[in-house]
Amino acid sequence: MSKILIIDDDVDLTDLFQDYLQQEGFSVTVAHTGSNGLNLALSGQFDLLILDIMLPDIKGTEILTQLRRDSRLPILMFSARGDDIDRIIGLESGADDYVPKPCTPRELVARIRAILRRSETMTPDERPEPLSTGHLQIWSHKRRASWLGQPLELTSTEFNLLETLALHAGQIVSKTELSEKALGRPLARFDRSIDVHMSSIRQKLGHQIDGSSYIQTVRGQGYQLIKDE
Does 22 map to a domain?
Answer: yes
pLDDT class of 213 with cuts at 50, 70, 90: very high
Does 125 map to a domain?
Answer: no
Beta strands 97-101 and 75-80, pairing class: parallel
User: Considering the entire predicted model, what is its pTM?
Assistant: 0.77
The mean pLDDT of 192-199, rounded to a whole number, is: 92
Q: How far apart are CA 73 and CA 112, in angstroms?
A: 13
39 with 110, same domain?
A: yes
Last residue of a domain, one of 69, 84, 119: 119
Last residue of a domain, one of 87, 119, 151: 119
Q: Which of 102, 57, 94, 56 is nearest to 73 (CA)?
A: 94
Which residues, other chains included, contact 207 with Cβ-Cβ below 8 Å and sequence gap of 6+? Answer: 213, 214
How far is CA 98 from each of CA 58, 88, 191, rounded to the nearest angstrom?
Answer: 19, 10, 11
78 with 151, same domain?
A: no
Q: Which of 53, 41, 51, 50 is nearest to 83 (CA)?
A: 53
Query: How many domains does one find in the chain?
Result: 2
**pLDDT tens per residue across span 36-87:** 999 999 999 999 999 998 898 998 889 999 998 888 899 999 887 666 788 8
Last residue of a domain, one of 69, 91, 119: 119
Position 17 pLDDT exceeds 70: yes
Position 229 pLDDT exceeds 80: no
